[in-house]
Amino acid sequence: ISYFYIFGAIILIFTAIFFEPNADELGLVERFGIDYLPERLFRILLAVFTFIMIYGYMRLKRWGFWMMILYSIGFGFISYILTPSFNQQPFIGNVIWSGIMLIYSFSIRKSFQ
């Protein structure tokens, strides 16, 4: 699971550096409701947050557990609740993955120090 998130963070950094944001599509900043941040900066900040979260999660730290819980709830909420408000189909795959992460994390919560 952690390696999947590391891969996602690397992709975020890669897309922030090498791809120009498309003006026709909603970016992450619009979905998060923080239009005042540049898209590239937000992708890099999100990737850094993900690396920090995964470090704590892989080391079985309590703060890593809670960051993962908040991250999963946040992305599940944004993917299912906020995306339809932009007249787009909800990202059901993100919601399912967030749910799996919540269930898995709570099932192993006693492992975290």
Instruction: Work out the number of other CB atoms within 10 angstroms of the CB of residue 54.
Output: 22
Helix axis angle, 62-77 to 39-58, nearest 10°:
140
This prediction's pTM: 0.82
pLDDT in tens, 81-100: 766 555 566 577 888 888 99
Structural domain count, the chain: 1
Helix axis angle, 92-107 to 62-77, nearest 10°:
160
pLDDT in tens, 26-55: 677 776 777 778 888 888 999 999 999 999
Question: What's the domain range around 15?
Answer: 2-111
